[in-house]
Amino acid sequence: MATISALLTQAQTAANAGHWSQAASLFETAYQTEQSFAINQQLVTALAKTQKYTAASTYAAEFEATYLTTATNFNLYLTILLASHQFIKAHIIVVAAQQAESSWASDAKQQVVTAEAQAEQSMAQTLTVTMRQFMHLADQPVAEQTAR
């Protein structure tokens, strides 16, 4: 098995080349060996780049307090939470950042509200399309319903 430094070198090379899926896999292997914030941040970034937001938020939550200390880390964590529709958690970290009087958290509340509105609209449209697909299914025999 490769050493932690070799894994991190390979992962960083993959990330620099834009091979985020490979980088995420390598960072995850390294993180299983050593749970540090530096590796966690690289893993979370790689997972976000591959749009694996739920997994990224799970890993980020392990170092939540650290993610709330700088604007860059906070914005990464907030972006991941919003992309995975974790709006309550997003509100919680915004309030925590505002209570810490972080100047960079001022626009975050509006980001959360906007993302919630967009998700609500998107989900309503999805539900409407799904309902249309199932409309009048009962009018047909079961065998014909599967053909629809």
pLDDT in tens, 3-47: 999 999 999 999 999 999 999 999 999 999 999 999 999 999 999
Residue 39's nearest CA partner among 104, 90, 47, 49 is 47
Q: With cut-offs at 50, 70 and 90, classify the pLDDT of residue 107.
A: confident
Distance, CA of 15 to CA of 146 (rounded, Å):
45
**Paired tokens of 15:** 């990330």
CB 134 within 8 A of CB 103: no
| 56-66 mean pLDDT | 96
Residue (of 98, 119, 116) closest to 107 by Cα position: 98
Nearest Cα neighbor of 105 from 92, 115, 94, 90 is 94
Tell me the one-letter amino acid at 19: H
Looking at residue 145, its pLDDT comes to 62
